[in-house]
Structure formats: structure tokens, C-alpha cells
Amino acid sequence: MSYSYFFPSPPDRIKSPKILDLRMALSQIYKEHQNNLANVIKADREHAKEEARTAVSAAIDVLHDAVNVQVSEAFQLQRNLESESRRLETLALDFVKQSRLWLDLVNQFNDALKELGDIENWSKIIAKDARSIVGTVQRVSGVLEEESLGSSSVELKETGPPSMPRKSMSTDRDRLTSASHILRINVYTFVYKTLFYKYYDTLQHYYLITDNSMPLH
């Protein structure tokens, strides 16, 4: 079978000039329609591309800002932590130094208290020795007084009651009594002076280690 069997040629009336002009006009209209449709589609496509580009750019900007904000906050937090850690380290070092100073002051104060305790014990020993010395002097003066009284009584029995030995006896007794009082006063004065100067030195040492001014009165 030939091609003309399936697609027969148009009749001669279709090949007339009017029909050909109409066909050309329709073809031209169709082409213009296709061109207009293509232009509309292209414009819509470009508009869609522009909108998509704008939306993507806005989304990227939002994500970028969000990430930058988080990064900046993290960086600021890191800087704050570093600053606080340095400040904490400085405070820790200062606290260690202050603790050492406090420990030294406590040790020095304990030493001062020990010295005060030693002074108290020493004063008790000195007072005991002073009482022993005073007692010995009193006993010696009593013995001497008894001996003088005994000798004076013997002399009175042998020679009678003269007036001069009685005066010399009372004078010797007064001398022994005054010597005993003077010795007692000197011993107590020495003890009190020694205790006062030792206590003054201890107080001065205490005020020096505590950085306080020592009161004058």
C-alpha cells in the first residue's frame, strides 16, 4: 500500500488561495500564541526563580544570623569564663598568702602565750625564792635577837641592870628589823621590776606581730 492510500491528497478546492491564506493566518496565530505562551512561561519561571532565590537568600541570612549569634554568645561566655577563672586564681593565691600570714600570726601568738606562761611560772619561782629568803632572814634575825636577849640577860644577872647595854640591845634589834624590811623591800622590788620589764617586752612583741600601735597608757 502506498502513502496516498492512508493520507490521500486534499482536493483541489483546499489548494485555493483563500484557503492557503487562512491556513497561513492560523499558523501565524498559532505561532504567536506559542511565542506568547513561551514568554509567559519564561516570565513565570524567572519570577519563580527570583522568588526562590530571594527565599533561599533570606533563609541563609536567618541561619547565618542564628549561627553567628550562637557563636558570638559562646565566644562571649568563653571569654567570661576565662576572666572569671583568672580572677578566681588570683583570689585563691591571695587567700593562700593571707592564710599563711594568719598561720604565722597564730604561731607567734602561741609563742607569746607560751612566754607569758613561762613568765608566770618564773614569777612563781621567784616569789617562792623571795619568800624563802625573807623567811630565812626573819629566822636569822629572830635567832640573833634571841642571842642578844640571852647575852643581855646574862650580863644583867652578873653586873646588874646598866642602862647602856639595854639601849644597845634595842638598837641592834631595830637594826635587824630594819635590815629585814629593807631586804624584803629590795627583793620584792627586784621581782616586780623583772616581771614588769618581761611583761612589757612581751606586750611589745605582741603588738609588733599584730601590726597594732602599743598604747602609751
200 within 8 A of 216, measured Cβ to Cβ: no
pLDDT of res. 7? 47
Q: Please determine, for residue 76, whether its predicted confidence score (pLDDT) is greater than 80.
A: yes
84 — pLDDT class (breaks 50, 70, 90): very high
Identify the weakest region by mean pLDDT among 15-24, 35-44, 57-66: 15-24
Instruction: Pinpoint the alpha helices (H) of the chain.
Output: 3-6, 17-159, 163-209
pLDDT of res. 82? 92
Euclidean distance between CA atoms 129 and 136, whole angstroms: 10
pLDDT of res. 153? 54
pLDDT of res. 65? 81
Q: Please determine, for residue 30, whether its predicted confidence score (pLDDT) is greater than 90.
A: no
Q: Please determine, for residue 3, whether its predicted confidence score (pLDDT) is greater than 50.
A: no
164 — pLDDT class (breaks 50, 70, 90): very low
- Whole-structure pTM value: 0.34
Q: What does the longest C-alpha to C-alpha distance in the chain come to?
A: 211
Task: Work out the average pLDDT over 159-170.
Answer: 48
